């Protein structure tokens, strides 16, 4: 393993942890550390941004291939599925959900999960029709 790759791994790990801890400090009201959390999250983000010059120095620029719209479509489906599933989860995990909230949340969550699961067969179908 090259020294530069190890530096990327270390910066990514430290930056990710500092950013995550800062976000937890901001989003957990019991901790009452919002301002310190913002500072920690910004510091973690800056550490993560330090990876960019290290990566660019060690990895030469490659020519871009034409845009594969099958992959773009697959990403969009995956993001939509994750958002739908997250909405369902948030309905279920509310403070005191009613029976309707639980039912709607479970149904919407399962629909989002199905969207995510069916993403790969859709991509395989698009890929097979392209060839």
pLDDT tens track for 36-59 = 999 999 999 999 999 999 888 887
Query: Residue with structure tokens 């960019």?
Result: 52
Say how many CA atoms lie within 13 Å of 66 toward its Cβ: 2
Quick one: pLDDT at residue 93? 87
Q: Could you tell me how far CA 85 lies from the centroid of its own chain?
A: 14
* pLDDT at residue 60 is higher than 80: no
CA angle 8, 11, 13 (to 5 degrees): 105
pLDDT tens track for 91-106 = 888 878 889 989 999 9
Q: Which is more confident, 21 or 94?
A: 21
The torsion defined by the Cα of 43, 48, 50 and 56, in degrees rounded to 10, comes to: -170
Question: How far apart are the C-alpha atoms of 99 and 89, rounded to whole Å?
Answer: 14
Question: How far apart are the C-alpha atoms of 9 and 55, rounded to whole Å?
Answer: 11
């Amino acid at each position: 393993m090259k020294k530069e790759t190890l530096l990327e791994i270390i910066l990514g790990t430290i930056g990710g942890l500092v950013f995550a801890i800062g976000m937890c400090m901001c989003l957990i009201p019991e901790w009452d550390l919002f301002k310190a959390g913002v500072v920690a999250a910004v510091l973690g983000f800056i550490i993560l941004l330090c990876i960019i010059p290290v990566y660019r120095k060690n990895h030469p620029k490659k020519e871009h291939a034409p845009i594969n719209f099958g992959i773009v479509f697959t990403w969009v489906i995956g993001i939509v599925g994750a958002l739908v599933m997250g909405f369902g989860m948030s309905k279920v995990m509310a403070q005191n959900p009613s029976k309707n909230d639980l039912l709607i949340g479970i149904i919407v969550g399962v629909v989002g999960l199905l969207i995510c699961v069916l993403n790969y067969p859709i991509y395989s179908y698009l890929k097979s029709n392209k060839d």
